[in-house]
Amino acid sequence: MTELTVRESINQALAEEIERDERVFLYGEDVGDYGGLYQVTEGLQEQLGDDRVFDTPLSETTLGGTVVGAALTGSRPIVEIMFGDFLSVIADHLINYAAKMHFNYGDGTSVPLVVRTTYGGGDQFGLHHSQDPMPWFQNVPGLKMVAPATPYDYKGLLKAAVRDDDPVVFFENKQRYEVSGDVPDEDYTVPIGEADIKRRGEDMTIVAIGGMVDVAMEAADELDAQGYDCEVIDPRTVMPLDKETILESVKKTHGLTIVHESAQFGGMGGEIAAEAADEALYYLDAPVKRVAAPFTPVPFAENLEQSYLPNADDVEAAVIDALEG
Amino acid sequence: MARDSEREEVHEYLLLNRIFEEKVLEEYEDSGIPELPHLSIGQEAVGVGGTFAFEADDWLAPSLRTRAVMLMRLSLRDVVTGMYGTKSSPTEGRTTQHHLGSSENHILGTTGLIGSHLNVAVGAGLSARQLDEDRVTGVFFGDGAATRGEFHTAINYAAVEDLPVVFILENNQWIEETPAMDVIAVEENISEMAGHDIPKEVIDGQDVDVVLESVSGAVERARSGEGPTLIEAKTYRYRPHAEVIPERRDEKEIEEWKERDPVHLHEERILDDGLVDEEWIEAKRAEITEEVNSAFEFAKNDPMPAEDVMYQVYKDTEIDENGGVVR
């Protein structure tokens, strides 16, 4: 084991996968010599060569189309889209192309691409550089979405995404690049489609996505001090969802709180709540709570943005509200 | 000019394209076909000559109207069952043959969004470079697609990276029911819109020999590492955008284009050159008609697919019908 930051674990995963398989390459705006806006790809071009790690035009239209075409013809490309907000530009290629080609071919062809992108607020980058765009794509069969929380999961899931035969959008939370944790020295992957129980508990199931896992863990610590024993589940893969792990937990704790950074309305929380209502209603002893953003664009001013983003206090309040009414 | 045996083969493909699509029209009007026909009658020379210029393992990304790619790379049975969505169709009824992809036959799957395949084709070119494979990608697209950002961004990237891609613009003069030049800000040739520094050719799309020669040259340049070419083939479709749309074009305009019909033009040339005689042509027509009719008979009698085939969503993960992972 070595202690690595999320940034380092992604950088290592990229280097190892590009080295492991000659069909893998990494491209995108500024990912080469500059090392990417968030310096995640720092040193990779020098280490692996400019034929395996290279810069592109600013055009997301070109990136979205070419990554699909390369994946359909024998390559296993990784493309970096600088901000998740810009996925709107490649939405056509993700929704109508990448997600649907396995359905549209008769011979088992799929689209083994990885789109790496950043998401989330907290930097006062404003309404077009701070969004959590996951809900835009949760209704797209054929697309996989991965949003890890720990350095271990970042590395293992990115490696799994590169080796996966289906299109994967890999979401990196901007606030978590400096978070560190233990990462194995040997090669490993974390399976796509498998949730992880980050903390065991008996009184409440908290499902938290991506950057909100740390928030939920902080809240669980505070709640523990007050006598509430919370279980924290990190789906890790947002689509397709490991519903089974969540429902089993709900049947044990009899409670459910969901935390994500995108707006509450139309978000994954509603979907998970509906699954619980459908499959585990009679196990529930408390109302289902969602802790998420309000239905408004991500605001710029510091106090507004902080108010917009869910935090540990919000999670704590929601859990107490559910358990105590 | 192609070798004599190839000129005969090219003519057979022109006849196949024409006879096939006339049969589609007849069947559609007579008893209906589930897939709404978007016919290429009148502009077959671009698809046939264009497709013929590539090797079998070169990738092709057809437009909605490059029926020739499908007819020249798939069996007739696959194409026709694909239009009916029956059990024997390539995707067992999941999709129509309009956008079908086939890794086996090196046809890049497309979508119902006109022009979204341009950068995908450039990606296939990028892949060839990355994998050090000696193959070229051809992409066919219409005048409508040329108004999209896809067109400019795809050509820019292919050009800046010198990728082995041949862009074949099938300029059939009409974007659905709007005259192309009413909505495109150039005087004469749509390819002028692309200011990129790549070779461009504007050619007679009704003459299959001209198309074959031009595309072959572009394929050769791409294969030898000289990068992409943009070819604009001037052509015309005799039918409306789709068969559900009433014809509103001037009958005189359609008749004028029919005077330079691509099938007749080539037929007269090979007859004049003494390459084939009338008997050969009649025999080929009869043979192809019989094959086409038999493919339609097969499709019409083919059973419908089983419902479970529509759950082909992920290759690597098993899910239930509501998107939950099956563990």
pLDDT tens-place string over residues B88-130? 999 999 999 999 999 999 999 999 999 999 999 999 999 999 9
Calculate how close chain B gets to A219, using CA atoms only, in Å. 28
Active site residue A128: no
What's the DSSP call for residue A175?
A: G
- Residues of chain B with Cβ-Cβ distance to A191 below 8 Å are none
In terms of Cα–Cα distance, which of A127, A68, A125, A63 is closest to A95?
Answer: A68
- Cα separation, B80 vs A197, in Å, equals 51
Q: What is the ipTM of this complex?
A: 0.96
**pLDDT attached to residue B197:** 83
Q: Which residue has the tokens 């585990």?
A: A280
Closest CB to B119 among A66, A103, A166: A66
Closest CB to A23 among B91, B123, B131: B131
Asked whether the beta carbons of residue A72 and residue B314 sit closer than 8 angstroms, the reply is no
The reply to whether A144 touches chain B by the CB within 8 Å rule is yes
What's the DSSP call for residue B40?
A: -
* Nearby residues of B172 by Cβ (< 8 Å), 6 or more positions away: B42, B43, B65, B142, B143, B235, B236, B237
How would you label B231-258 residue by residue, b for 16+ Cβ within 10 Å and e otherwise?
bbbbbbbbbbbebeeeeeeeeeeeeebe
Q: What is the pLDDT of residues A4-60, one digit of tens each?
A: 999 999 999 999 999 999 999 999 999 999 999 999 999 999 999 999 999 999 999
- Cα separation, B153 vs B160, in Å, equals 10
If DSSP states are collapsed to H, E and C, what string results for A279-307? HHHHHCCCCCEEEEECCCCCCCCHHHHHH
Mutate to test the interface with A, among B137, B314, B327 (most CBs of A within 10 A): B314
Q: Which residue has the tokens 């009649």?
A: B282
What's the DSSP call for residue A96?
A: I
- Cα separation, A2 vs A12, in Å, equals 12
- Residues of chain A with Cβ-Cβ distance to B149 below 8 Å are 59, 61
**Which tokens sit at B55?**
């090797």
- Cα separation, A290 vs A286, in Å, equals 13
* CA pseudo-torsion sign A24, A29, A31, A37: negative
Q: In the beta sheet, which residues pair with residue A76?
A: A24
Q: Which residue of B has its CA nearest to A144?
A: B314
Least confident of B3-12, B202-211, B269-278: B3-12
**pLDDT attached to residue A325:** 81
Give, in degrees to the nearest 5, the angle at Cα B23 between B18 and B27. Answer: 155
In terms of Cα–Cα distance, which of A167, A97, A113, A27 is closest to B108?
Answer: A97
The reply to whether A62 touches chain B by the CB within 8 Å rule is yes
Set A93, A102, A128, A129: catalytic member? A129
- Cα separation, A45 vs A58, in Å, equals 18
Asked whether the beta carbons of residue A92 and residue B113 sit closer than 8 angstroms, the reply is yes
Size of interface A-B (CB pairs under 8 A): 183
Of all helices (H) and strands (E), which one includes residue B39? Answer: none
Contact B48, B16 (CB under 8 A): no
In terms of Cα–Cα distance, which of A243, A246, A250 is closest to A287?
Answer: A250
Calculate how close chain A gets to B110, using CA atoms only, in Å. 7
**pLDDT attached to residue B2:** 74
| Alpha helix stretches (DSSP H) within chain B | 4-30, 44-52, 67-73, 76-84, 118-130, 149-160, 208-223, 251-258, 262-272, 278-301
Contact B24, B83 (CB under 8 A): yes
Closest CB to A142 among B124, B157, B313: B313
Q: Which residue of B has its CA nearest to A243?
A: B324
Give, in degrees to the nearest 5, the angle at Cα A24 between A23 and A27. Answer: 130
In terms of Cα–Cα distance, which of A240, A325, A106 is closest to B326?
Answer: A240
Q: In the beta sheet, which residues pair with residue B233?
A: B170, B203
Of all helices (H) and strands (E), which one includes residue B196? Answer: none
Contact A52, A20 (CB under 8 A): no
Q: What is the pLDDT of residues B170-218, one digit of tens each?
A: 999 999 999 999 999 998 999 988 877 899 999 999 999 999 999 999 9
Instruction: Identify the segments of chain A with pLDDT beneath 50.
Output: none
**pLDDT attached to residue B19:** 98
Asked whether the beta carbons of residue B323 and residue A141 sit closer than 8 angstroms, the reply is yes
**pLDDT attached to residue B229:** 98
Of all helices (H) and strands (E), which one includes residue B194? Answer: none
Q: What's the full length of chain A, in residues? A: 325
- Cα separation, B164 vs B199, in Å, equals 13
- Residues of chain B with Cβ-Cβ distance to A142 below 8 Å are 313-314
Beta-carbon count within 10 A of B272 CB: 8
- Cα separation, B327 vs B322, in Å, equals 14
pLDDT at B1 over 70: no
In terms of Cα–Cα distance, which of B72, B73, B92, B70 is closest to B81?
Answer: B92
With a CB-CB cutoff of 8 Å, which residues 182-221 of chain A face chain B? 192-194
Q: How confident is the model at residue B5 (pLDDT cuts 50, 70, 90)?
A: confident
Calculate how close chain B gets to A164, using CA atoms only, in Å. 7
Supply the DSSP string of A99-149, one letter for each residue.
TTHHHHBSS------EEEEEE--SS---TTSS---HHHHTT-TT-EEE---
Q: What is the pLDDT of residues B226-249, one digit of tens each?
A: 999 999 999 999 999 999 999 989
Q: In the beta sheet, which residues pair with residue B179?
A: B174
Q: Which residue of B has its CA nearest to A106?
A: B91
Asked whether the beta carbons of residue A239 and residue B323 sit closer than 8 angstroms, the reply is yes
Asked whether the beta carbons of residue B109 and residue A107 sit closer than 8 angstroms, the reply is no
Contact A208, A260 (CB under 8 A): yes
Supply the DSSP string of B145-175, one letter for each residue.
GGGSHHHHHHHHHHHHTT--EEEEEEE-SEE
- Cα separation, A2 vs A15, in Å, equals 16
The reply to whether A110 touches chain B by the CB within 8 Å rule is yes
**Which tokens sit at A33?**
């010599």
* Nearby residues of B13 by Cβ (< 8 Å), 6 or more positions away: B48, B51, B52, B68, B71, B72
**pLDDT attached to residue B211:** 98
The reply to whether A164 touches chain B by the CB within 8 Å rule is yes
